[in-house]
Amino acid sequence: MSDLKTAVNFRELAPAQLAPYIQHTRIETGLTRDDMIAHAKETVEHGFNAAMVPGSWVSLVAAELAGTGIEIASALDFPTVGVTTSAGKAFEAEQLVKAGPTQLDIGVQVGWLKSGMHDEFREDIAGVVRAAGVPVKVMLELPLLTDAEKELAVQLSLEAGVAYLKNASSGQIETANPTSIRYLVDRAPEGVLVKASGSIKHYEQALGLLEAGAVLLGTSAGLSIISNSSDENTASY
């Protein structure tokens, strides 16, 4: 992913040229086999960075994407964040990567952080990093944290070995914005990147997040963004 961090004037790119920065997301209840095959085909057709899909569909999507060079991403402890045990999360990560995902997004234990359980918060993340063996993106839920807690969450996540910092898990927590992205970019050391997530629905919004320093955008509105069209009915991931 290092090639995505090179200096780019995003304003010079046509909307369709933003596709390599978008993780094409389809995570919702009731998805069918046909839905996931269509999602995989869209990801390839438009050249998105990755197909972000539920763990239950990773094997199918991995088979569809074999040989395309498209990344496969999935999420743990999501969309309900912070309810899985640390051992359960690590075990799921270990098992899931065998099915093909090349990266994982994970929720964090906000309640543990707020309870002063800093070692437990760090180890919850580190256990997944060790078990997965693929880049892990940590969804920090910044709007739920005080300023001091934000600093601590970033610090503990970096100590745990994450590859990416994310502002939030979905639009239910935060609409991705340049302020949150710059906050994370300013604190990310060399080798750690930033992904934006949360109600990213429009081309201009996507440009602003990339210009703020995000190298990836997680959104279910990728097709609207790369066509520079408006679709208010897209999901909020």
- Residues annotated as catalytic are 105, 166, 195
Distance, in Å, from the CA atom of 40 to the CA atom of 129, rounded to the nearest integer, reads 26
Q: What is the CA radius of gyration of the chain?
A: 17
Distance, CA of 223 to CA of 210 (rounded, Å) = 17
DSSP string, 5-42: GS---GGGS-GGGGGGGEEEE---TT--HHHHHHHHHH
**CB atoms inside a 10 Å sphere around CB 179:** 10
Note if the bond before 79 is cis, omega within 30 degrees: yes
Give the helix ranges, DSSP H, for the chain.
Answer: 33-46, 58-65, 86-97, 110-114, 118-132, 147-160, 178-187, 203-212, 222-227
Long-range contacts of 41-48 (CB under 8 A, 24+ apart): 42/223, 43/70, 44/68, 44/70, 46/16, 46/19, 46/222, 46/223, 46/226, 47/19, 47/20, 48/19, 48/20, 48/22, 48/23, 48/24, 48/222
